[in-house]
Amino acid sequence: MLLAFSRRKVRRLFSETADVDEVIETLRYASEDTLTAMVLGRVQYLSAGLAWSLLTGVVQLMRGAMPPEPQECRLEFWPSYEDPEDPGGWVEPDVVWVDPRIVLGIEVKWRGTQDPAQLDKEYRALAQAFPGREVAILALGGMGSTQLDELKTRCATENLLVLSWAKFAQGVRAREAELASGPAKAILSDIALVLAERGLGDTSRLTTFATLPAWPLGLALPWTPIVPHGGFLPLVTLGRHGLERALSPLADWRIA
């Protein structure tokens, strides 16, 4: 999160609304920049091998070749590069993994969709900024079948990888389960929590309606027998009529 604050990604939310609760909700559940900071900001603490496997292990190679595994994990957040086709213009990928041999630009989308022109522009800017290195672009999120078709037909990026958030989350949970306790497991656990808050959690442990407490729940509780209007009729169970009878005195209860 510090990354998002320090790169002034949070401030603009306050310019859009004065409602602090709304800003907090957006930061936690909706903002693409805070998701980037909370997830990839933690990925950079992992070993190069583990981080690389999370980002490329289940990736879909759309064009070109899969880049080789980097030697070190060094991520830069929202760096700016000159746009080779627009003198004086700048290009800002969300994250760039810079390695002595390879450079991987990561374009993150949350709720938005990937734009082939933006990916091409980032590829060209990185290729110019890092001559002699193998450059690839990873489009993380923002892909449906329509966008995949568009990327296939309209994107000119030479080495293009595509990864959905759902697959990334699945990979994080799988690697977390494999690891023994330690810093890497704690980091993956944190990432999994962030993703779960975005609706990308493990659905295998969810509750089911089959486990809803069976009616009459009240039999397990100390409760006062109800005396309905018109006579004494102790209710030993809370059947459907029991509840409706119970509501009757509530209907008569008035404070004012």
| Chosen residue from 49, 68, 100, 112 binding other proteins by CB under 8 A | 112
Q: Give the binding range for other proteins (CB under 8 A) out of 33-41, 79-87, 127-135, 238-246.
A: 238-246
Interacting positions 179-218 with other proteins (CB under 8 A): 198-199, 201, 203, 206-213, 215, 217-218
Count the site residues for other proteins by CB under 8 A: 52
Binding of other proteins by 113 (CB under 8 A): yes
Q: Give me the DSSP letters along the chain.
A: -HHHHHTTSSHHHHHH-S-HHHHHHIIIII-HHHHHHHHHHHHTTS-HHHHHHHHHTT-EEEES-PPPPPSS--EEES--EE-TTSTT-EE--SEEEE-SSEEEEEEE-SSS---HHHHHHHHHHHHHHSTTSEEEEEEES---HHHHHHHHHH---SSEEEE-HHHHHHHHHHHHHHSPSSHHHHHHHHHHHHHHHTT-S-GGG---GGGSPPSPGGGGS--PPP--TTS----SS--HHHHHHHHHHHHH----
Residue 254 engages other proteins in binding (rule: CB under 8 A): no
Residue 86 CB, shortest distance to other proteins, in Å, is 25
For position 224 contacting other proteins by CB under 8 A, the verdict is: yes
| Smallest separation, CB 4 to other proteins (Å) | 20
- The CB-of-103 to other proteins minimum distance in angstroms stands at 26
Q: Does 24 bind other proteins (CB under 8 A)?
A: no
Is residue 250 part of the contact set for other proteins (CB under 8 A)? yes
**Is residue 89 close enough to count as binding other proteins by CB under 8 A?**
no
Question: Do the beta carbons of residue 37 and residue 77 sit within 8 Å?
Answer: yes
Binders of other proteins among residues 132 to 171 (CB under 8 A) are 142-147, 164-167
Q: Whose Cβ is closer to other proteins: residue 84's or residue 201's?
A: 201
CA distance 145 to 72: 34
Q: Which residues bind other proteins (CB under 8 A)?
A: 19, 21, 110-113, 142-147, 164-167, 198-199, 201, 203, 206-213, 215, 217-218, 221, 223-229, 238, 240, 242-244, 246-253
